[in-house]
Structure 1
Amino acid sequence: MPLHPRSRGVPGRAGRAEDGHLDLAHARDPAKGVAVSPKPSLDSLLPALSEAYGPPGREEGIRAALRRALRGMGTVREDALGNLHLHLPGKGKRLLLTAHMDAPGLIVTRVDASGLARLTLLGPMPAADWIGAVVSLDGSARGVVGWDRPRDAKETREIEPEALYLETGLGAKQAPKKIEVGTVGALLDRAERLGDLWCGGNLDNRAGCAAVVAALSGVRGLRNDLHVVFAAQSDLGARGAGTSAFGLQPDVAVVLDVAFVGESRGTGDIALGKGPCLGLKEEGYLPHPRALDLAKRAAKAARVPHQWLIRESGGSDARAVRASRAGVPTALVAIPARKTGGPRVLVNANDLEQTVKLLRHIVTTPYTGEKGSR
């Protein structure tokens, strides 16, 4: 028996738009993934990946969407933890490029007498940010997240997860029969373009996944033996990235994630529209000098402006990758994002394009383990 659910594919076919290009085919069931065009651009890829079902430990929908996006690029496989691997063989050093594919989720703890599904959190998204969000339960039932308001209107305490509930409209009789305890829910959302910004609820880290796929689409001149991992269960403790690094034993690794405005200290806060970030410090992690040098040289060659990221708390999968086995030289690249005070976040479209350029140069820049080597 598999250790995690597997997708059974997506019904239907992609249609043709008025301009003759292949449209996206959207699955009725988000748990089964979303089809993407054969040569994905960010404009088509990001909405498709953002709406795929994929909370921690239940990434079958986003795996299916990524498999379709990666068709024809190389050998794709899935491991026991649920990570999705792409191998692009090369003669150079073994380079691991990883971005986590799971998004924050919720889990049903009980169904109360009124038919409301009581919830707790999966991942770092605060309880307050879930209020008003539309949620899909295992890709089937849907509902909207509410919370038990305090009787005292002056109450200012932080909202606790125990105060959250999901209203599905099933009622007191049907809800206990159709919603099982332990059912996992995910934000039901599709990224959309707002001028220079992308707005969506699952952009952490579907924006990173989209950037990786776009960077690899049509890439030529690989100078490393490239292993790409779309990691599972990052929000449960960087499980996918850590186990993948342990198994692959890379010579160098680059972790791609998002970083939120307000997180960086020391070098000044990050901002949207100023390019991707290179991580200098986060909880439990410092970049390896030679891995950081690889990212810096690639940014210079690509003429990509970048910012510095220093996190005093929290972090990414970089910590787990860096500490794998006897240690892996690791660099962190982060896409700047801004929270809106609700379930959706904002990413600058140009930052995303610049991240794609940076990744293309990273995978085509040889890593020899020597500072300044080419």
Structure 2
Amino acid sequence: MNASGISGSEEDVREILKREVRKYVSDVKVDKLGNLIAHKKGKAPKIMLAAHMDEIGLIIKSIDQKGRIYFSSLGGIEPLTLLGQRVHVLKKNGFINGFITLNEISNDALMNRLPEMTDLFIDTGLDKAELEKAGVEIGSNISLGFRHNFNLGKKDIIAGKALDDRIGCYILTELIKKSHKFKSEVFFVFTVQEEIGLYGAKTSAYEINPDYAIVAEATSSDDMKPEPTISIGKGPCLTIKDAESVSDKKLNKWIKEVAKQKSIAIQYDINDIGTTDAMTISISKGGVPAAVISVAIRNIHSAMGIAHAEDIRNAILLFEELLKKPINY
């Protein structure tokens, strides 16, 4: 999770994953867009599992003479969640620490509204000339959050940056290590550029043309509300629908049956905001049945997310049982 993998710049994450998985599968390759595809040979059905490597972040739009860095978002970020956040302004060899602050409020109209992205800037303590000398330029990426992860008050409550979707990448990695147990042909795809348009899933699904696909994702927990619908610590989530797609009913029925057989508690995710790689996979070529299994995260799409380790373990167990006894579609 500590590696930077902002959309379009997933190289560091990809190299870590490649080193981790290459000895467990038939072959590993990187396609032209940057997806990492680990292929486990086997018999029908041909299954695609996907998780995206990229995380939300920022990109430098301009730098004024005083060194104030103005930025644009890569992925969906609420400006209010950025105010006061520590960031890493990335350069060729390392990063420069900075924090996000607010332009001075100079009139009453600004006092009565939430900050917008254009109101914010990054202060590194350096002026424009010093930043340029350090290798910071327009187009440089900015990584959110602290580069460490930690447990909160309970042992299994974890916090860290980029849980969306490094949790999914971890799930796929653990499944690859168990892939000798699976008889089917499986393509484990670590996709790029999900946060800005689902692009990696689109190209990889077209190339693989699977019989069906399941996406390992993160979803938003609302368990701090009085009447939550999704909570951390209550099991992996099965997506019914999101803002742009409806999950395949046959796959969802199978997933529910396996979860019940193995006494794995699951939650049902019906969301009106956002979508996942499953959407673009499902409309690849002549169509691909697709489903989504997610882990709930508090504060999703912010600098620091919170998840429950037991949900991750149960998601891995559920995927493992599905791959041991796949359905033919």
SS of residue in 1 equivalent to 2:23: coil
- TM-score norm. by structure 2 comes to 0.90
Judge conservation of contact 1:115–1:176 (CA < 8 Å) in 2.
no
Superposition CA RMSD, Å: 2.1
Higher relative contact order (CA 8 A, sep 6+): 2
Deviates more, 1:79-88 or 1:341-350: 341-350
Structure 1 residues 212 and 319, CA gap change in structure 2 (3 angstroms): same
Are 1:184 and 2:135 counterparts? no
SS of residue in 1 equivalent to 2:29: strand
Deviates more, 1:272-281 or 1:151-160: 151-160
Match of 1:20 in 2: none
Q: Deviations over 1:87-127 (max 9, x none)?
A: 01111211000001100111111110101221111111222
1:341 deviation in Å? 9.6
Are 1:169 and 2:125 counterparts? yes
SS of residue in 2 equivalent to 1:312: coil
Structure 1: state its 5+ residue gaps: 1-49, 370-374
Judge conservation of contact 1:221–1:364 (CA < 8 Å) in 2.
yes
In the alignment, the residues of structure 1 paired with residue 185 and residue 258 of structure 2 have an alpha-carbon distance, to the nearest angstrom, of 17
**1:82 pairs with one of 34, 40, 48:** 34
Taking the TM superposition and a 5 Å limit, the aligned residue runs for 1:282-297 are 282-297=242-257
Structure 2: state its 5+ residue gaps: none
In the alignment, the residues of structure 1 paired with residue 51 and residue 88 of structure 2 have an alpha-carbon distance, to the nearest angstrom, of 24
In the alignment, the residues of structure 2 paired with residue 328 and residue 156 of structure 1 have an alpha-carbon distance, to the nearest angstrom, of 48
In the alignment, the residues of structure 1 paired with residue 193 and residue 105 of structure 2 have an alpha-carbon distance, to the nearest angstrom, of 33
1:71 deviation in Å? 3.3
Runs ≥4 residues deviating over 4 A: none
Match of 1:160 in 2: 116
Structure 1 residues 291 and 340, CA gap change in structure 2 (3 angstroms): closer
SS of residue in 2 equivalent to 1:92: strand
Match of 1:96 in 2: 48
Judge conservation of contact 2:164–2:301 (CA < 8 Å) in 1.
no
The amino acid of 2:199's aligned partner reads: R
Structure 1 or 2: larger strand share?
Answer: 2
Structure 1 residues 278 and 322, CA gap change in structure 2 (3 angstroms): same
SS of residue in 1 equivalent to 2:256: helix
Match of 1:51 in 2: 2
The amino acid of 2:105's aligned partner reads: P
1:214 deviation in Å? 1.8
Match of 2:289 in 1: 329
Judge conservation of contact 1:232–1:240 (CA < 8 Å) in 2.
yes
Judge conservation of contact 1:255–1:332 (CA < 8 Å) in 2.
yes
